[in-house]
Amino acid sequence: MILSDLLHRPVLDDSGDTLGVASDARFAVTDDDSGRPAEVRLVGLIVSRRHSGSFAGYERTGVDAPWPIARFLRWRHRGSFLVRWEDIAEVSRDSVRLRSGFVRHPSSLASDDDGA
Amino acid sequence: MMRRTKQQRMPTRRRLIDASLSLLDRQVLDIDDVPVQVVTDIELSEVALDHPIPVGSPAPTVTALLSGPVLATRIFGGRPPTHRLHRIDWAHVAEIGIALSLSVRGSSLDVTWVERWLSGHVVGRIPGGHDDPE
């Protein structure tokens, strides 16, 4: 599977209702002792309710300048959430379906160095 | 912006990244900091499409960086044929930074075969084509 099989696909709940579009994929990077990124594992998908475009870096909570662009992009992606891999029931060629009772997690990256 | 050197790296740790922000469309540099390619897609460990994912299945991991002609598919949708995508095994990735750094030379990778072929068969046959660029 390649990442394009996940991104920009409609995301559906277990009853088939559309929740939004998979606008990005979040990964957990684990460095080995030498600092090399030994493993990069999928954490989940960022689901945007209205737009599948990029957050342009403003998914990081510490980035808020220039403020008009930051406010516009945060408004544009309002309602976005992270759905973890454990809550993904099926990836098909035209959509991603979630399990019943899936949890909406905050979509922002609290910082670049957060643990998974 | 300065690149983080190996001496400045943090010890073993986990961190979160978003693919669009930190991986896709990033320049890939080989061990000599020579540009190799741009990341156009990412290969993940196998997940069966159109089949339910069993509860408790481990999340897929990144297995390779992919590069290929994606302009048309980004505009019109779909995906390029698999044989048009060149891959760099993730084991060759040494650092995720402003660019992705590799631990090998670009000349050892399949992704640079067109450049090497042109160098040997076209540019090299032009008078002065073997000279070092000034």
Across residues A27-47, what is the average pLDDT? 93
Using 50, 70 and 90 to split pLDDT, how confident is the model at A56?
Answer: low
Contact B41, B66 (CB under 8 A): yes
CA of B117 to nearest chain A CA: how many angstroms apart? Answer: 28
Q: Report the DSSP pairing between strands B41-44 and B62-67.
A: antiparallel
* SS3 assignment for chain A: CEHHHCCCCEEECCCCCEEEEEEEEEEEEEECCCCCEEEEEEEEEEEECCCCCCCCCCCECCCCCCHHHHHHHHHHCCCCEEEEHHHEEEECCCCEEECCCCCCEECCECCCCCCC
Q: What is the pLDDT of residue A61?
A: 63
pLDDT band at A53 (very low <50, low <70, confident <90, very high): low
Average per-residue pLDDT for chain B? 83
Of A23, A24, A37, the CB nearest to B96: A37
Residue A40, pLDDT > 50, answer yes
Q: What is the mean pLDDT of residues A22-27?
A: 92
> What global pTM score does this model have?
0.80
pLDDT score of A52: 63
Would you place residue A95 in the very low, low, confident or very high pLDDT band (cuts 50, 70, 90)? very high
Residues B40, B20: Cα–Cα separation, whole Å: 10
Structural domains of chain A in order of their starting residue, each with its CATH number: 3-106 (2.30.30.240)
CA B65 – CA B109 distance, rounded (Å): 12
Query: To which H or E segment does residue B87 belong?
Result: strand B86-89
pLDDT over threshold 60, residue B1 = no
Q: Is A19 on the interface with B (CB under 8 A)?
A: no
Lowest mean pLDDT segment, chosen from A61-65, B34-38, B76-80, B116-120: A61-65
With a cut of 50, say whether residue A84 has pLDDT above it: yes
- Which is more confidently placed, A11 or A55? A11
pLDDT tens sequence across B73-88: 777 777 777 777 888 9
| Tokens encoding B19 | 């693919």
Chain A CB contacts of B24 under 8 Å are: 3
Tell whether ipTM is more than 0.90: no
Encoded tokens for B27: 């320049």
Give chain A's end-to-end CA distance (angstroms, integer): 23
What is residue B80's predicted lDDT score, i.e. its pLDDT? 76
* Cβ contacts of A43 on chain B, cutoff 8 Å: 16, 59
Q: Among partner residues B10, B49, B66, which is closest to A93 by beta-carbon distance?
A: B49
Find the farthest-apart pair of alpha carbons in chain A and give their distance in angstroms, rounded: 46
Strand (E) or helix (H) holding B36: strand B35-38
Q: Any idea where the domains of chain B sit in the sequence?
A: 18-45+60-125
B3 has a pLDDT exceeding 60: no
Residue B102 identity: L
- Share in percent of chain B as helix, strand, coil (round to 5): 30, 25, 45
CATH number of B18-45+60-125: 2.30.30.240
